[in-house]
Amino acid sequence: MSWLIPGRLPQEGPEPKLGAGISRPRPKEVTREYRVQVTRPGCRPMRVTLPAPSKAKAITYCQNRWPDSTVEFLA
């Protein structure tokens, strides 16, 4: 008998893409902290502080973690 990795249920949204360089910076990559607000359909907005090399990469990391979300930068 083998273990199966459970898939996400339809109400949980699309499958995230995770990994170094995809949803987070690569090890030893020069980064700075970005504060963003991530809003998913049917959920309250969440504020996240994440390390990224640029604003564009910060958006990419958020959209790979939460594919059905919208991202706004906070001051």
How many structural domains is the chain composed of?
1
Q: How far apart are CA 75 and CA 16, in angstroms?
A: 27
Domain membership of residue 32 (yes or no) is yes
pLDDT-derived band at 50, boundaries 50, 70, 90: very high
Domain membership of residue 40 (yes or no) is yes
Look at phi and psi of residue 58 and say left if phi exceeds 0, alpha if psi is from -120 to 50, else beta. alpha
Domain membership of residue 53 (yes or no) is yes
pLDDT, tens only, 7-23: 666 667 788 888 999 99
57: containing domain: 27-68
Mean pLDDT of the chain, nearest integer: 88
Domain membership of residue 10 (yes or no) is no
Domain membership of residue 56 (yes or no) is yes
Domain membership of residue 3 (yes or no) is no
Indicate the pTM of the whole model.
0.81
